[in-house]
Structure 1
Amino acid sequence: MSLKKSDESSLVRVGYEKMECRLCLGSAPAESSVSIFGDLHPERLEQRIRTCCQIYVKRGDGLPDTVCLSCKTNLELLISFRKACCRSNETFQLRLDDCLKIKSEEVLLEDVTWKDEPSLSTIHRKNREFLSKPFPSESERVLHQKSHSVEKLFKCEICLKSFSNKSNLTSHKKLHTGIKPHTCDICLKSFIHKCGLVLHLRSHTGEKPHKCEICSKSFTLKCTLKSHKKLHTGIKSHKCAFCSKSFIKKYNLLSHEKLHTGIKPHKCDICLKSFIHKSNLTYHEKLHTGIKPHKCDICLKLFIHKSSLTTHEKLHTGIKPYKCEICLKSFALKYKLELHKKIHTGMKPHKCDICLKSYTQKSTLTKHIRSHYKK
């Protein structure tokens, strides 16, 4: 039976046409192709292609946005192989740490001649501090050992900190003067050292010279890149003493432990609300100004914080990448999905003190409490 042109076009519209694979240029029926931007797996195809093939795909770039099943399988194999390599590298790193542990104990306990003989507990403490920081390379280990062999003869008269050479001491003393001679021509922010100004200028130019070899993400500062690389290892070496929760970075642990103390030293001068972290107070204080400098280009809605605008703009795209595994409902924002999941658990942790009615979400409880005051 022959088909008219209109019938043929309708077949194309419903998805029976052949799709071209972005990776191998092969053609496959639409039902045998996978959308690059529609994968619900935590590691999206877009990220896998970037990581394994160093190809940067972007939605709406005019190029094919599908891959064949064969290429998808190959990507999964590559990801599995990469993870196996990372695990092997961690095993070798642990073996190296064990070797360093034995050598360092021999050096610290036998070969070192002390001017003031420390207690055994002090030696063990120094040992633990030394071993808790494994060296990524042999060159860094050698440089570290050299730093111990150099005597620090130059001492600051103000804070008594010592330095191995006079230039470092001179540079350090500038901190105590408070003078900041290096000023940014763009935002007029001042810095004590010229290197601080050079690094700051990158925030205006957008320059990010330090690139991660694993995920290709770029950073302004080298120390930020070094900290970022720890995320790829998945090792959480910093453990909370109160709740046994672990963290990859030490500053995250220190920030978390403040929650257990209950101390809120940062207080708002206007409403007297207290906060654990200073950054939270700074974020809160903007609410009292009433100034909303960040405007949505689509609906012209104003926001106090830029992060709120960024979150809001996702709603206009219509894309809902976060899907509930139970009822398959989709959400544009991740925290909306997390709130939704509580409905399936049946737990209602937020209770009204007036009528003892319970709710799944705190926002719903807040609205309920207002109804009592209206009455």
Structure 2
Amino acid sequence: MECRLCLGSAPAESSVSIFGGPHPEHLEQRIRTCCQIQVKRGDGLPDRVCLSCKTNLELLISFRKACFRNNESSRLRSGDCLKIKTEEVLLEDLIWNDEPSQSTIHRKTSEICLKPFPIESELILHKTSLPGVKLFQCDICLKSFIRKNTLMIHLKSHTGEKPYKCKICLKSFPQKSHLVSHEKLHTGIKPHKCDICLKLFVYKNKLVRHLITHTGEKPYKCEICLKSFTQKSNLDKHKILHTGIKPHKCEICLKSFTQKSSLETHKHLHTGIKPHKCEICLKSFTIKSHLVTHEKLHTGIKPHKCEICLKSFTLKCHLKRHEKYHSGIKPHKCEICLKSFTLKSHLKRHKKYHSGIKPHKCEICLKSFTLKSHLKRHKNLHTGIKNTQM
């Protein structure tokens, strides 16, 4: 439903008809008188007003009534018995004559109250308690808010101001509630548990989002490639890939990324920082998703089985890589010796032999190796451990 006065949208239950109700003449005539707007039934324009505009209209009427009373009182005190101007009397009669009965007013107090308030703060508090009333609007994005302090907090999102800083990791936030929510991460407490896989979560909304993965439901589909996602945020991120735009550039190697989070993760490669550590084997990872994948190896569960040789794998990506060996296809060819490989990673490793670079050196005998795995196997000769793999 569109409001006749502010053109804002509101559900039917949060708006009132200009021409309906037990006293339709009041709302129709008050709009004409106070707003100087001609309102006619069947004129093809919106015939409803939202509760916010209705509230403002009633406040205007209440204010005018107080002005008339105070003006009369002043005249009586000063001894001036001149009557008020004719148009003012007519306006007063139009607005306040034939008022609804007290019982009708009592029934409407849950939505709107015509009672005047002695101070402005009480009036504002009363208005904000009404359902659907949003009196405070952002001048930048035109978003409306119920309370003024909420608007003030919102304005910080446009200025980029982040006054609330975490004492542990020094990360800043525009709102105090965001900081309080963030600080829960540092406590390590995860009170929300998935009843299916027993995985724990810090936030309840993360648990709710996780539960969708067990149902297999992916309601958000990309219109371009038809790929589906469990969350709308993931779909929005995916759509950026189709644009080809990569606005986030690394200042060190000038590599560009579609998402800012991908750039931040990439920067760890230059710093060597690996903040995500496995609690079982203490192995560290640059990217959190790599740690999550690694932790599955410790479970011993291998749900992904090859249909040809029945070999099982912990990760689906390992199964897909294994299936390429059965196909016999070797699409990755070395440009120097023309040798072909099933996996691109094997070709990349092979090219190191042609470079002649041997960066991995034994600390005992100073012998160098092209691959780190070869150095590790060589060290077993010094320790007396027999190699199990050839």
Calculate the TM-score normalised by the size of structure 2: 0.48
Find the structure with the greater CA-based Rg: 2
Q: Which has the higher contact order (CA 8 A, sep 6+)?
A: 1
